[in-house]
Structure 1
Amino acid sequence: METMETIYTSNFKVGAYDFYRHLRQSDAVFAMNQQNGQTSWVITKYDHVKELLKSPNFIKDQSKIFVTPEAEGDEGKIIRIFRNMMLDADPPDHTRLRKLVQPFFNPKTIKALEPRMNVIADELISEMKNQKGPVDLITHFAFPLPIIVISEMLGVPVEDRNKFRKWSNTILAASDNLTTDFAQDVEDFIEYLTRLFEERKELPKDDLISKLLQAEADGEKLNRDELYSMVVLLIIAGHETTVNLIANTMYALFQHPDQLKAVQEDHSLIESAIEEGLRFYSPVDFSTARWSEEEMEFHGKTFKRGDFVLASLSSANRDEEKFSDAETFDVTREQAGHMAFGFGIHFCLGAPLARLEGKIALNSLLSAFPSIRMAGQEQPEWINQFLLRGLKELNVHL
């Protein structure tokens, strides 16, 4: 019915939830395509996804299965950045890397950023008030809020933030299709970070890059490639997914005027609206890739060693066996347990940061613009990026 190529096409997002529902009911462990003796699988049911994400039989480091050439030269430097990324590591490497950065993202540390986040949100709101006509909520609010926050956390100068946006977009696009800009952008990124690392080694500041350079756990520090990888990961995970969280949740509220009205009248519902937004329009559509380490049976299907496995977080979060009225957007929903941030050892490190940014964003928008509404009735366009679910723009009347 569907092939691997289908989920890479721009129109897949429009009908994705119907497709997931069909799979959950008819073929929940779906062989998406076969090539060179290997099968690519999509897992769609909540319980199956949860089992997959916590199982040590599905690994992130493909070099444990496939022979990979030694990375050399400039191209090798690029490859090593992605090979050393915590997101694509298994224990014990993943355990070591996560232990080094976990203290910077615990709830108490993130909570201390709230006053500054409120100031940033207020500044963006003030700028929006000066706009005439419809305003793109993503360009003027949902994007700049998290990119300013993560840039300030890392210690990236204000004037360089747009470069970071360009670089992160290129890297995300490369997960779908390698472009001619990819290698050059990553080389530029590495060169920029190298200078920044040297500056912080000479003159440390109270920022995350300085702390990562000094971080040590059990006598271990991040090496240079791991530092590059960690900063790349934090920039992408620290802003791109939060842009989607804010915009997707606002879009869901616009689609459901009764829910928007409820939140407008009672701001105590904002936190549950954020959780429902995460469930209903998950910012991350698919978990990052895993491979079957050995031949095994998984819910009636045989996985060979090296089979490629994707967990659909979006599908799991609409599973009718887990959530009552799963297709209904309900900001008063009491059922917990969505998997928008993943599950298991790779549960999103930045979840406390994303939740706080989402809460501040909705509170600021609904307080400043109690009559905010979508501009026009057209279906906004989803970005053509298969791992993430995000809107290209979301035009509103303030």
Structure 2
Amino acid sequence: MTITDPHPFPFSEPDELRIDPRLEQVREKEPLCPVKLPHGEPGWLVTRYEDVKTVLGDPRFSRAEAVRRDEPRTRYHRGLPGNIMEFDPPEHTRLRRVVAKAFTARRVEQLRVRAQEIADRLVDEMIAQGPPADLVSAFALPLPVTVICELLGVPFEDRARFRHWSDALLSTTRFSPEEIDRCADELSRYMAGLVAERRKHPQDDLLGVMVAARDEQDRLTEDELVAMGVGVLVAGHETTASQIPNFVHTLLEHPEELARLRVDLGLVPQAVEELMRFVPLGSASTARYAVEDVELSGGVVHAGEPVVVSTAAANRDTAVFTCPERLDLTRKEAAHVGFGHGPHHCLGAQLARMELQVALSTLLRRLPGLRLAGTEEDLVWKAGSGVRGLEKMLITWEAAA
């Protein structure tokens, strides 16, 4: 190993949705930076856009090797055995194909009508109750939770249970290792129970498709089946539920861009892409291990060395984006890497895009004058989690006369 004198990473505690300024310094002056994350062995941190795409997309970097190593990571938990993030192609491709059809652009567009119905119902309830309302509990959480429950085939009434388990799996310091292990076990057994129910009573939801792929086509193991179900459930609601209030908060902090969007809701799809670039969600990717020597900016990563990437830093790379510190809803430049890149590019990216588009357009269309109720000090931010976001965000609007 050539990784010596690593810097503790993350460099600082998350500060709401602000990016640590040291990431910019590292990107400019130390693009291959030795770091020590809270768990696992030391590794390299990569922050430049092209380097990030190389690490995430080049077969010379392996996720499967991380299973055999004490990979650098921000969270204690490494995921259930057999989860899709443990594999490289072609094994990764085999698992991804089992569920990929549920997340195609065509299938997601078919779900848009249902997502819009859910969003409108949630806003109806907010309006009926009157302002102020907690955007997180009243809208941002139930929208993606309802969609993923219906798509996967998970009872919506169990949302409090799997939400707690999800929080534990994504915890950095909020839960103890013992609590995380217990929650992971409970969530695994819960999903195994739903699998057993599908075997007794087959249905055409995504979980039913996965069970059929296991039992009739032998395309995945039982551990892979359960891990896939858990992964879809957790990832299918957590990031979108966090990004809805994150995006609204960011727009409120940029009133000129918000005014532009209110005038032309046709900009919403483009706005979602720019907000995905602009708003940081996590600290570092899951680690990849070099399987041969690879030259990146700043030096050579030797075979056997782990690398983590900061997509937030890559999305602010001045070599790729003009004035990257500025939110510009009309930006037309390189694609962001907010959904990752390469074989492990977010499976549900199209679903997340659609839900975020529906969420923003519905809130802006139906809640005129949407703004914070109270001050910034009244906001409650997540703590001890690998995902940034708000736990409580009170909003108000112009009530109808």
Same fold per superposition (TM over 0.5): yes
SS in 1 for 2:80: helix
Q: Partners in 2 of 1:2 and 1:326 — Cα distance? A: 28
* Alpha carbons 1:10, 1:383 under 8 Å: kept: no
**Structure 1 residues 187-206: aligned runs within 5 Å:** 187-206=185-204
What residue is the counterpart of 1:161 in the other structure?
159
Alignment of 1:19 with 2:22, yes or no, is yes
What residue is the counterpart of 2:74 in the other structure?
none
Equivalent position to 2:44, from 41, 44, 63: 41
Q: Partners in 2 of 1:221 and 1:392 — Cα distance? A: 39
Equivalent position to 1:269, from 267, 282, 285: 267
SS in 1 for 2:376: coil
Q: Partners in 2 of 1:117 and 1:143 — Cα distance? A: 13
State the Cα distance separating 1:230 from its structure 2 match: 0.5
* Alpha carbons 1:276, 1:331 under 8 Å: kept: yes
Change (3 A) 1:6 1:124: same
Q: Deviations over 1:175-198 (max 9, x none)?
A: 987532222222222222222111
SS in 2 for 1:82: coil
* Alpha carbons 1:286, 1:386 under 8 Å: kept: no
**Structure 1 residues 368-379: aligned runs within 5 Å:** 368-378=366-376
* Alpha carbons 2:81, 2:223 under 8 Å: kept: no
Alignment of 1:3 with 2:7, yes or no, is yes
Change (3 A) 1:317 1:176: farther
* Alpha carbons 2:188, 2:226 under 8 Å: kept: yes
**Structure 1 residues 128-207: aligned runs within 5 Å:** 128-173=126-171, 178-207=176-205
What amino acid maps onto 1:397 in structure 2?
Answer: T
SS in 2 for 1:112: helix
Q: Partners in 1 of 2:216 and 2:89 — Cα distance? A: 15
SS in 2 for 1:215: helix
**Structure 1 residues 1-398: aligned runs within 5 Å:** 3-7=7-11, 10-11=13-14, 16-33=19-36, 39-62=42-65, 66=69, 82-173=80-171, 178-215=176-213, 220-378=218-376, 380=379, 382-384=381-383, 387-398=386-397
Q: Partners in 1 of 2:104 and 2:40 — Cα distance? A: 43
Q: Deviations over 1:192-231 (max 9, x none)?
A: 2222111111111121111111137995422110011101
State the Cα distance separating 1:83 from its structure 2 match: 3.3
Q: Partners in 1 of 2:66 and 2:98 — Cα distance? A: 23
Q: Partners in 2 of 1:353 and 1:24 — Cα distance? A: 31
Q: Deviations over 1:43-82 (max 9, x none)?
A: 11111111111111221123575499xxxxxxxxx98x62
Matched pairs, number = 387
Change (3 A) 1:111 1:371: same
Q: Partners in 1 of 2:16 and 2:295 — Cα distance? A: 30
Q: Deviations over 1:281-331 (max 9, x none)?
A: 043443222222344443333434433311111111111111111111111
SS in 1 for 2:335: coil
Q: Partners in 2 of 1:271 and 1:128 — Cα distance? A: 24
SS in 2 for 1:320: coil
What residue is the counterpart of 1:71 in the other structure?
none
What amino acid maps onto 2:43 in structure 1?
Answer: S
Q: Partners in 1 of 2:101 and 2:127 — Cα distance? A: 37
Where does structure 1 lack aligned partners over 5 or more consecutive residues? 69-77
Q: Relative to structure 2, which stretch is displaced further, 173-182 or 247-256?
A: 173-182
What amino acid maps onto 1:3 in structure 2?
Answer: H
Where does structure 2 lack aligned partners over 5 or more consecutive residues? 72-76
Change (3 A) 1:65 1:159: closer
What residue is the counterpart of 1:74 in the other structure?
none
SS in 2 for 1:286: coil
Q: Partners in 2 of 1:365 and 1:286 — Cα distance? A: 31
* Alpha carbons 1:105, 1:349 under 8 Å: kept: yes
Q: Partners in 1 of 2:40 and 2:329 — Cα distance? A: 46
* Alpha carbons 2:46, 2:307 under 8 Å: kept: yes
* Alpha carbons 1:253, 1:259 under 8 Å: kept: yes
SS in 1 for 2:390: coil
TM-score (norm 2): 0.88
Q: Partners in 2 of 1:327 and 1:386 — Cα distance? A: 25
TM-score (norm 1): 0.88
Change (3 A) 1:320 1:155: same
